Amino acid sequence: MTAPAAVPALGITARLRAALVDASKATVVAFGLFFIMVGLRTDVSPTGALFLRTRWLDVALLCAAVFVSRLALALWLGRRKPEVGPAWQAAALSRAGLLFGPALLALALILPFVPGIGRYELDLGILVLTYVMLGWGLNIVVGLAGLLDLGYVAFYAVGAYAYALLAQYFGLSFWICLPLAGILAAFWGVLLGFPVLRLRGDYLAIVTLAFGEIIRIVLLNWVELTGGPNGISGIPRPTFFGLPFSMSGGPQTFAGFFGLEPSPSHRVIFLYYLILALALLTNWVAIRIRRQPIGRAWEALREDEIACRALGINITNTKLTAFALGAMFAGFAGAFFATRQAFISPESFTFIESAIILAIVVLGGLGSQIGIAVAAIVMIGGFELFRDLDEYRMLVFGAAMVVIMVLRPRGLVGSRAPSVLLGEQRRIDARFVGEGRG
């Protein structure tokens, strides 16, 4: 574990000595703990009396393990030049990011036609894209406006139930319900926004958390309307602008109309492109609006509320629009979720969903669009990848999150990359100013 000639400035022996001292200290602490916790053990003897058993070998092995790991860790960390690391990483990442985004988009566009991509992979792609969209939607509220929302799944639920109920009771089609679901969710966003206007940080988080649970519990208990825990089944599947995806192959079906062989994969491919389009719409709106005055006001709000007031920014409107817009995209995603599953129940809208979406936003780096997409792929895709590990995958998942947060504490793509600004230092014409990108 010695690094040859990596850091010539600091002698190998000096580093080794420091590492040895550090490892010895850790071992002493470990011995103090293990001496009691492992070394001494009370057991019940056959006669029923307690007796003390000693396990000195185990203690010795554990202490040796601590010593070796600590030594390896110290040498490995000492090898890095801390002041060079992050800057170098950031520069490389931002350079790669310029190509990475378009490449990712191109891959997403051709994915259904890549050889070897089957039904399972497409379904996973749909799931990942749903979370990408939810992440981008929540990013408006948390990443841009800085309002910590732990109940985001409530708006997802509102969208899903809006479509399911409108379709069930009024027979409305998916394409009419999609905007309605978004509007309804936005309405609930404003409704949540009003009571929490004066709250920030922890207090806001608690109230939004409660709001998410209220929505779920109402859905669970309002049996006459929502079917309660049984959920709503038989939700109409989406049509291709009126042409259903049916296996009959008749002239009024998608396959028949276009003269294709009827195949169940048509619908999956259609759903894939639908959620891709919805996610890209979310992304486009978020990117555009960030350069508008309202987007700048959101970011200013995240930075300092009192300064915003001093500049004449209307805090009420700014907060409510952030809540409403974020909720609207969750509503769209919810309607999509309902039509894809054809069955929804309150079980799909538990707190863990909010937590996962928030984790995606935080892991991706608050405010970064591409970081959120990568985080969603890593989190949702990674979850699938380790399916064979059963319950251990939570362990892998937790460890991965800790590692990411240690290595990149500001998320995969750290905050507002200043490199975008540095190259444009001299550009101060009106167009540039109007965009306010600085």
Partner 1 sequence: MKTTMLEVDNLATGYGAVQALKGVSLHVDRGEIVTLIGANGAGKSTLLMSICGDPRARSGRIMLDGEDITAKPTHEIMRSGVAQSPEGRRIFPRMSVLENLVLGAQAAGQDPAQQLPRVFDLFPRLRERQSQRGGTLSGGEQQMLAIGRALMSRPRLLLLDEPSLGLAPLISRQIFATIRDLNEREGLTVLLVEQNANQALRLAHRGYVLVTGRITMSGSGAELLARPEIRDAYLGGGH
Given a contact cutoff of 8 angstroms between Cβ atoms, the answer to whether 235 and 339 are in contact is yes
In the complex, the smallest distance separating the C-beta of residue 315 from partner 1, rounded to whole angstroms, is: 7
Token output for 340: 């894809």
In the complex, the smallest distance separating the C-beta of residue 132 from partner 1, rounded to whole angstroms, is: 24
In the complex, the smallest distance separating the C-beta of residue 419 from partner 1, rounded to whole angstroms, is: 10
In the complex, the smallest distance separating the C-beta of residue 367 from partner 1, rounded to whole angstroms, is: 9
Query: Cα separation of 204 and 195, whole Å?
Result: 10
**Smaller CB distance to partner 1: residue 9 or 430?**
430
**Smaller CB distance to partner 1: residue 79 or 410?**
410
**Smaller CB distance to partner 1: residue 58 or 303?**
303
Closest C-alpha to 124, from 401, 380, 295, 346: 380
In the complex, the smallest distance separating the C-beta of residue 307 from partner 1, rounded to whole angstroms, is: 4
In the complex, the smallest distance separating the C-beta of residue 285 from partner 1, rounded to whole angstroms, is: 20
**Smaller CB distance to partner 1: residue 139 or 226?**
139
In the complex, the smallest distance separating the C-beta of residue 303 from partner 1, rounded to whole angstroms, is: 4
**Smaller CB distance to partner 1: residue 347 or 424?**
424
Number of Cβ within 10 Å of residue 434's Cβ equals 10
**Smaller CB distance to partner 1: residue 69 or 316?**
316
Give the interface with partner 1 as residue ranges (CB under 8 A).
Answer: 293, 296-297, 299-300, 303-304, 306-307, 309-315, 415-416, 418, 421-422, 424-425, 428, 430, 433-434, 436-438
Given a contact cutoff of 8 angstroms between Cβ atoms, the answer to whether 300 and 311 are in contact is yes
**Smaller CB distance to partner 1: residue 116 or 423?**
423
